[in-house]
Amino acid sequence: MADTYDFGLVGLGVMGRNFILNVADNGFSAFGNDLDEEKVSALIKEGGDTAKVNASSDVKTFVQALTTPRKIMLLVPAGKIVDSVIEGLLPHLDEGDIIIDGGNSFYTDTDRREAYLKEKGINFFGAGVSGGAEGARKGPSIMPGGSKEAYQHVKPIFEAVSAKYKGEPCVAYLGPKSAGNYVKMVHNGIEYGLMQLTSEIYDLLKKAGGLTNDELHKTYSDWNEGRLQSFLVEITSEIFDQKDDLTDNDLVDMILDKAKQKGTGKWTSQNAMDLGIPVPTIDIAVSMREISALKDERVKADELYDRPSPKPVNKADFTSKAEQALYFAFIITYAQGMHQLADASKEYGYELELGEIAKIWRAGCIIRAAMLADITEAYQADENLQNLLLSPSFVEKVQSTVDAARELVSYGATNGIPLPGLSNALTYFDAYTSSRLPLNLIQAQRDYFGSHTYERLDRDGIFHTEWER
């Protein structure tokens, strides 16, 4: 058994099991490890009578079964478990071996682990994996960062197992240190924003447009055939078509309106604030999940306050405007995420190529969308593009859809339908495209009460005024 397997994977849950089978399907032998004997047995059984797949619950057996330099991927929950697995592996590893964290680890944890393992002669890098269980099995988008030299040993495997967009693998070396985990974090932040926007448009169409679930299924399905083509729009259409096994109702109507989160959206939002980069659509998506958790309080508050009844609308016209508004808001959300990546790259020395990132998101990942082909081209045309909204290729796309967003935001406010994601996307756009904002008054206020100084329009320098009371 010793030195016969190309690739090792720790963590044989749904993601891990599917990923290792994907590796085997693509011609590489793979050995799995998990403390749970049932998961080990399940993988061996699913791998079938083949020398391509094997597994063990014993760490020493697992490590000794791998060719050197050993390539070991961890697909375990982020946090202390990652450190625990690493410590369990270390006594059995040799200098030059490679550990890859494929989970959603916080980027500073990756930097810490890389430095710690480097002292021991072990290569470590983070590789974000997106696509869910199905993606892991059939081809995910993979976002590796860290040692470029170490990545070369894993590159053939990752390129083989990743999703393909017109034949191109959806994986690329992204940059040094924690670049891979950071890009995956922002990917998930964008994901939060897109999901929030998709749910708001659903709410509008149901409450104001009066669309049935069958009509919503057809609407989202039709949208998925056009410029809104994306994984999230596709699965949304399928959700409206799902019947409930326990009642005679549609399943979507039986699901409690409390959305949970694992933290990556929050990390994106928090880090954007640290960098001074505005990502309000992502921020509010995180906040809405927190508001949704206050279910009991929301029920009580609903009984205390009156809410207007939605005014009648023309269903066809309203649905058309909803498509335009969603397209507009999707662009804005991607723009915010890419802006954060650009700034983080400078701040943390990641050397990110935004066109390359958009390119590997075109297939396999949760935020894959037809729009990403256009985003890829925009950044390939101008690698120093500061914001997607400054790309000439996106001006018409935004200009032709923003009015619909304005109309729906106005309708939502007048008729008591919350549209925080869409509202924030629109406000961000209006603020970003305004050459003059009222923040001059804020600077005057700050100088008035705290002598914080201000700058002037007509001359250079820092100024302070002794304000007259």
The answer to whether the bond into 69 is cis (omega within 30° of 0) is yes
Residues facing residue 66 across a β-bridge: 5
Please tell me the least confidently modeled range out of 1-15, 177-191, 320-334.
1-15
- Residue 172's SS3 state is coil
How many Cβ atoms from other residues are within 10 Å of residue 306's Cβ?
Answer: 6
Residue-wise pLDDT for 227-258, tens only, equals: 999 999 999 999 999 999 999 999 999 999 99
As a whole-number percent, the residues of the chain with pLDDT over 70 amount to 99
* Structure token digits, residue 162: 């990743």
Angstrom distance (rounded) from CA 73 to CA 136: 13
pLDDT band at 49 (very low <50, low <70, confident <90, very high): low
Specify the amino acid at residue 339.
H
Find the helix or strand (DSSP H, E) in which 8 lies: strand 7-10
* Phi, psi (rounded to 5 degrees) for 98: -125, 130
Angstrom distance (rounded) from CA 254 to CA 103: 31
Domains of the chain with bracketed CATH: 7-173 (3.40.50.720), 184-433 (1.10.1040.10), 441-468 (1.20.5.320)
The H-assigned helical ranges of 49-106 are 59-64, 80-89
Angstrom distance (rounded) from CA 249 to CA 230: 27
Angstrom distance (rounded) from CA 61 to CA 55: 9
- Residue 187's SS3 state is helix
The CA-atom distances, in angstroms, between 418 and each of 60, 194, 207, 398 are: 55, 16, 11, 23
Is the per-residue pLDDT at 339 higher than 70? yes
How many Cβ atoms from other residues are within 10 Å of residue 83's Cβ?
Answer: 14
The active-site residue, picked from 184, 206, 266, 321, is 184
DSSP 252: G
Residues 415, 425 contacting (CB under 8 angstroms):
no
Annotated binding site for substrate: 104, 130-132, 187-188, 192, 262, 289, 446, 452
The H-assigned helical ranges of 213-294 are 213-223, 231-239, 264-275, 280-292
Residues 183, 341 contacting (CB under 8 angstroms):
yes
Q: Tell me the Cα Rg of the chain.
A: 25
> Which residue from 173, 354, 336 is spatially nearest to 265, judged by alpha carbons?
336
State the pLDDT at residue 217: 98
Angstrom distance (rounded) from CA 436 to CA 422: 23
Q: How far is CA 228 from the centre of its chain?
A: 17
Give yes or no: 134 in active site.
no
Residue-wise pLDDT for 169-182, tens only, equals: 999 999 999 999 99
Is the per-residue pLDDT at 50 higher than 80? no
Sign of the torsion angle spanned by Cα atoms 323, 268, 134, 143: positive
The active-site residue, picked from 114, 191, 323, 356, is 191
Angstrom distance (rounded) from CA 372 to CA 360: 9
Angstrom distance (rounded) from CA 258 to CA 105: 25
Residue-wise pLDDT for 78-109, tens only, equals: 889 999 999 999 999 999 999 999 988 999 99
Is the per-residue pLDDT at 51 higher than 80? no
Give yes or no: 206 in active site.
no
Residue-wise pLDDT for 280-329, tens only, equals: 999 999 999 999 999 999 999 999 999 999 999 999 999 999 999 999 99
pTM above 0.75, yes or no: yes
Pairing of strands 141-145, 71-74: unpaired
Sign of the torsion angle spanned by Cα atoms 268, 271, 273, 275: negative
* Structure token digits, residue 225: 């055939």
